[in-house]
């Protein structure tokens, strides 16, 4: 079983609303295609199809006023637009991708997962299909609505399916000990919750990210690592890197270790 998240910073241009990076997503889809029959689940981020409007309407704070009712509808529409584009590209690459929106299998309470239905994923995989889910704004029993990030979904899926390999494909090469754009920043070969160093955790200046950027990603990645045989954060802008990792080769990136490792 392999669990792969295509980050919103890779498949969209987060600096421009509703900007799909079709060429990059096509290449990543081709790199995934050889593994379509080996138990593959794909998660994708919302990128500029979700974060910009979610930040504009303050949806990360829950539903506080009527304006956020409109915002919830708009964000759900936009991320489904992105999901359809991702499905088109995956299918074009020969991957029999089917959409499983998180609202159909996940329940949230105060931003936390409280109910998780794995059956739709199990049925899809048993039929040779590749389930695709995505970061979204969901109903929440405490907040009214809450953001279910792709990273949160990764943690939930890993806990249920215990993948052999979990991969976060991001806009940078991995986890750094400073801001990735800083020439003096060092790429960390491994990172664990026992000795996590201070890393660049902010989104690019002027870019909305309602899910916490790298800091939030690491918190969820540590949970993923606790349930996976191997977990990596790699850059998606380098051709061939994802496929090489899926084939078991050594690649540039950061391996995420569970506690005690």
Residue 239 lies in a domain: yes
pLDDT in tens, 51-108: 999 999 999 989 999 999 999 999 999 999 999 999 999 999 999 999 999 999 999 9
pLDDT of res. 207: 40
pLDDT of res. 111: 94
Based on C-alpha coordinates, what's the Rg of the chain? 17
pLDDT of res. 195: 72
pLDDT of res. 196: 57
Residue 184 lies in a domain: yes
Residue 16 lies in a domain: yes
Specify the CATH number for the domain of residue 148. Answer: 3.40.1160.10
The structure's pTM equals 0.92
Q: By percentage, how much of the chain surpasses pLDDT 70?
A: 92
Instruction: Let me know: does 54 contact 60? Beta carbons within 8 Å.
Output: yes
pLDDT of res. 100: 99
Residue 261 lies in a domain: no
pLDDT in tens, 182-216: 989 999 999 999 875 544 443 333 344 444 456 66
Domain hosting 27: range is: 2-256
Residue 167 lies in a domain: yes
Q: Which of 250, 258, 211, 260 is nearest to 5 (CA)?
A: 211
Q: How many domains does the chain have?
A: 1
Q: Which of 17, 41, 21 is nearest to 154 (CA)?
A: 41
Q: What values do phi and psi take at 77, rounded to 5?
A: -60, -45
Interhelix angle for 213-227 vs 150-161, to 10°?
10
Q: Is pLDDT at 223 greater than 70 in this prediction?
A: yes
Q: Is pLDDT at 255 greater than 70 in this prediction?
A: yes
For the chain, list the strands marked E by DSSP.
Answer: 2-6, 40-44, 97-99, 106-109, 112-116, 130-134, 136-140, 144-148, 165-170, 190-191, 231-235, 254-256
pLDDT in tens, 119-166: 999 999 999 999 999 999 999 999 999 999 999 999 999 999 999 999
**Residues whose CB falls within 8 Å of the CB of residue 229, separated by 6 or more in sequence, listed in order:** 162, 163, 164, 165
pLDDT in tens, 30-51: 999 999 988 999 999 999 999 9
């Amino acid at each position: 079983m392999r669990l792969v998240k295509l980050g919103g910073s890779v498949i969209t241009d987060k600096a421009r609303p509703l900007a799909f990076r079709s060429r990059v997503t096509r290449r990543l889809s081709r790199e995934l295609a050889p593994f379509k029959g080996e138990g593959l689940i794909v998660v994708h981020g919302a990128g500029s199809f979700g974060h910009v409007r979610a930040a504009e309407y303050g949806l990360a704070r829950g539903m506080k006023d009527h304006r956020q009712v409109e915002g919830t509808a708009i964000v759900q529409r936009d991320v489904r637009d992105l999901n359809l584009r991702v499905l088109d590209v995956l299918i074009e690459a020969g991957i029999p991708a089917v959409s499983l929106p998180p609202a159909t299998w996940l329940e949230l309470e105060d931003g936390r997962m409280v109910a998780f239905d794995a059956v739709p994923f199990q049925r899809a995989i048993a039929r040779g299909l590749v389930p695709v889910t995505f970061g979204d704004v969901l109903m929440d029993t405490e907040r009214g609505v809450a953001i279910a990030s792709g990273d949160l979904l990764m943690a939930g899926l890993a806990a249920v399916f215990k993948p052999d390999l979990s991969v976060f494909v991001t806009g940078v090469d991995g986890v750094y000990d400073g801001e990735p754009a800083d020439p003096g920043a060092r790429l960390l070969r491994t990172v664990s919750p026992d000795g996590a160093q201070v890393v660049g955790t902010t989104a690019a200046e002027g870019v909305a990210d309602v899910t916490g950027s790298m800091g939030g990603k690491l918190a969820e990645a540590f949970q993923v690592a606790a349930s996976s045989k191997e977990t990596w954060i790699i850059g998606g802008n380098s051709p061939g890197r994802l496929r090489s990792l899926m084939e078991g080769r050594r690649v540039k990136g950061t391996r995420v270790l569970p506690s005690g490792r």
